[in-house]
Amino acid sequence: MVEGVEKGVTVMNIKTGSDLVEFICPSCSARWFREYGVRYCEEPDGDTRDYYWWNDLPALPPFSAEGAVECPQCGTRTAGRLARRRFAESPSAPPPGAATPSAATA
């Protein structure tokens, strides 16, 4: 079991990263960005779930009406769109361009 996911859910694969989300207010055209921490979880049946954080607090997906945020200028609730997604490097993965053990001995 992995901390931070629903109790009783077995998770097969987890990736962590961050999503930069762009918001454009439909009322006043204000534009702003927020960077969310995100954990992408794949369950044994193949379903995936994304868990979001903002300011170290759990957050609803910012792309949905439920996860819409208030415009800082006029207060209109606004859903965002994905501007950039980054995955954290796996600590067990070699850095890009690094020699693998089989390549170093060949």
Distance, in Å, from the CA atom of 83 to the CA atom of 62, rounded to the nearest integer, reads: 12
Question: Tell me, what's the pLDDT at 3?
Answer: 47
The answer to whether residue 79 sits within a structural domain is yes
Element (H, E) at 19: strand 13-24
pLDDT confidence band for 93 (50 / 70 / 90): very low
Q: Buried b / exposed e across 14-30, counting CB within 10 Å, b at 16+?
A: eebebbebebebeeeee
Q: Is residue 56 part of a domain?
A: yes
7 found inside a domain? no
For residue 61, what pLDDT is reported? 95
Q: Is 64 exposed, middle or buried (CB count within 10 Å of its CB: 0-12, 13-18, 19+)?
A: exposed
The answer, yes or no, to whether residue 99 has pLDDT greater than 50, is no
- pLDDT for 1-59, tens place per residue? 344 455 565 556 788 999 999 999 999 999 999 999 999 888 888 888 889 999 999 99
Structure-block tokens of residue 90? 């796996």
Q: Does any domain span residue 84?
A: yes
Q: Which of 46, 85, 86, 80 is nearest to 63 (CA)?
A: 80
Residue 66 C-alpha from the chain's centroid: 16
Hey, is 81 helix, strand or coil? Answer: strand
Range of the domain at 81: 18-88
Query: Looking at the domain assignment, is residue 39 inside a domain?
Result: yes
Please check whether residue 5 lies inside any domain of the structure. no
Q: What is the DSSP letter of 58?
A: E
pLDDT value at residue 67: 94
- Per the structure, the count of domains in the chain is 1
What pLDDT is attached to residue 90? 55
